Amino acid sequence: MKSFDVVVVGAGPAGGHCARLLAKAGRKVLLVERYENFSVNSFSSAGTPIETLAKFELPNEVIGSYWQGIKIVTTNLNESWDSPKPLGVVLDFTKLREFLAHEVKANGGEVWLGYFYLRKEEEAEQTILFFKSKKEGEIQVAAKVIVDATGPSRAVIYNKGEAQPLFHSGTGIEYLLEVTPEDYEKHCDRLTFFLGHKWMPKGYSWIFPMEKPKLKVGAGLLNSQHELIKKPEPIKYYIELIIKDYIKPKNYKILDIHGATLKYSQGLQDKYYRKNIIAIGDAVSTVNFLGGEGIRHGMCSAEVAVKYIEKYLNGEASDFKKYQKEMYKIFYKKWIISEKLGLKKYLLDSDNIVDRSITYLKYLNIHEIMDLLFNYKFEKFSKIFLIRLVIKSLAFFRKSFGFKGS
Ligand SMILES: Cc1cc2nc3c(=O)[nH]c(=O)nc-3n(C[C@H](O)[C@H](O)[C@H](O)COP(=O)(O)OP(=O)(O)OC[C@H]3O[C@@H](n4cnc5c(N)ncnc54)[C@H](O)[C@@H]3O)c2cc1C
């Protein structure tokens, strides 16, 4: 039986980055993924701000496209914000994970694709992990530390049958389209988000550009009841609506259809560690509830985890309590506000309110919009509330005193 310092289960962005950092630090590391290749579960739209590239040292080969604007389309209105410089990229999710796995190997680690994690047996100094593969059947490895990076499965951190916290679940589906160069040009510079009951009553839909002439068109919703829309259409209806009613392509080809269901712990009540096991990425709900953005946050959790794994392996810490503390410091406040806002926006708001929120957002500039959508700087709302107050006061004075004018 082979033995490792660390076995990372799940080769998503969080697991891949974690194994990459540990391999670079000279640890004997194994990265294990249930699928035989990364194109099988290329489920993510993978939009991210430009800073992600430098922060996680990502090369050009993982970039699908650059974008420099945001457009929001609601049932009756639309608004866009643009910058002269690139603000972000859409990553190629397959290539991103291939790159991370390649880095693990290049730095002396092992990567096993096509191995499904089954169970574990705890011993005094190590844990035995059991995997199943088509090639080898059941196989065991020993590890001093195990990283659960299995995303929504949370396959390692919880024992079979163990009670888990309450989750919000959300499902996203996306079509990868090949369109004509002219249709591509219309959508290639921006991330376009669709809100409101016409486009997606219990979530939002989107068009993200990929390399020429490909577009990702997707929709994601919360799997909970909407206060006002009792029977929404199936997700694919909304994706096809965007194609038919918004893009109106001359002709197009569907190259791929992919999707996934995320499970987000209500109030961030995940288990972050137990004994020599530490959980990262979506296994501890690092995906942001409001925007569904999770790649860089999962990679950030990997960086925090590696710090405490090193301490544990060096005998400087006997558990991962401080890991959870640091994760809460980074995420808790912003994620709790995002959860509350998301529940209101996606499950309570009327179409009228969604339309109205865009009329207020138009007073923000592109940098403020980026701060709101990607940096979760909710204090930007105070500017919006102020604008709302001014608009309401003007309306009141006009009505009361018969003022006319603009
Ligand atoms: C439709 C959709 C669109 C999205 N768009 C964006 C976006 O635009 N930008 C963004 O930043 N985020 C986006 N996200 C979220 C983002 O993709 C996730 O937050 C991110 O992938 C989480 O990374 P992770 O490594 O924690 O988990 P995952 O990416 O889920 O990786 C977990 C890995 O573990 C493997 N695994 C699970 N169980 C086992 C097992 N038993 N044995 C072995 N391996 C196992 C899985 O196969 C998987 O590869 C989107 C998500 C969805 C569903």
The pLDDT tens digits for 317-375 are 999 999 999 999 999 999 999 999 999 999 999 999 999 988 889 999 999 999 999 99
Rg of the chain over all Cα atoms, to the nearest angstrom: 23
Which of these ranges, 26-30, 115-119, 223-227, 255-259, has the smallest mean pLDDT? 223-227
Query: Is pLDDT at 405 greater than 90 in this prediction?
Result: no
Give the model's pLDDT for residue 406: 41
Higher per-residue confidence, 217 vs 227: 217
Average pLDDT over every residue of 21-38 = 98
Joined together, the tokens standing for residue 405 give: 């004018």
Give the model's pLDDT for residue 124: 85
- Ligand 1 pocket: which of 204, 282, 373 to mutate (most atoms within 8 A of CB): 282
Beta strand segments in 56-188, E: 63-67, 69-73, 78-82, 88-91, 110-113, 115-122, 127-133, 137-148, 167-179
**Beta strands 88-91; 214-222: pairing state:** unpaired
Find the 77 Cα to ligand 1 centroid distance in Å: 32
In which band, very low, low, confident or very high, does the pLDDT at 381 lie, cut at 50, 70 and 90? Answer: low
Average pLDDT over every residue of 198-223 = 97
Residue 12 burial (10 A CB sphere; 0-12, 13-18, 19+): buried
The pLDDT tens digits for 235-291 are 999 999 999 999 999 999 999 999 999 999 999 999 999 999 999 999 999 999 999
- Ligand 1 pocket: which of 295, 297, 300, 373 to mutate (most atoms within 8 A of CB): 295
Where do the structural domains in the chain lie, given as residue ranges? Answer: 2-61+92-166+265-339, 167-262, 351-401
Find the 282 Cα to ligand 1 centroid distance in Å: 7
As a whole number of Å, the end-to-end CA separation of the chain is 78
Among 118-127, 291-300, 379-388, the range with the most confident prediction by mean pLDDT is 291-300
Query: Is pLDDT at 403 greater than 60 in this prediction?
Result: no
Contacts of 91 (CB under 8 A, 6+ apart): 46, 47, 48, 52, 58, 62, 63, 64, 295
The pLDDT tens digits for 89-130 are 999 999 999 999 999 999 999 999 999 999 999 998 899 999
Average pLDDT over every residue of 170-192 = 97
Task: State the Cα–Cα distance between residues 72 and 354, nearest whole angstrom.
Answer: 11
2-61+92-166+265-339 is a CATH 3.50.50.60 domain: yes
Atom of ligand 1 nearest to the CA of 90: 8
Which of these ranges, 85-94, 110-119, 219-228, 382-391, has the smallest mean pLDDT? 382-391
Give the model's pLDDT for residue 393: 64
Q: Which CATH number fits domain 167-262: 3.30.300.30, 3.40.50.300, 3.30.9.90, 3.40.250.10?
A: 3.30.9.90
Higher per-residue confidence, 330 vs 380: 330
Give the model's pLDDT for residue 390: 65
Give the model's pLDDT for residue 125: 86
Instruction: Establish whether domains 2-61+92-166+265-339 and 167-262 are of one fold.
Output: no
Mean pLDDT over all residues of the chain? Answer: 94
Average pLDDT over every residue of 172-193 = 98
Please give all residues whose beta carbon lies within 6 A of any atom in ligand 1, as ranges. 9-15, 32-35, 41, 43-48, 116-117, 149-151, 153, 155, 172, 174, 218, 220, 259-260, 262, 281-282, 287, 292-295, 298
In which band, very low, low, confident or very high, does the pLDDT at 378 lie, cut at 50, 70 and 90? Answer: confident
Average pLDDT over every residue of 56-76 = 98
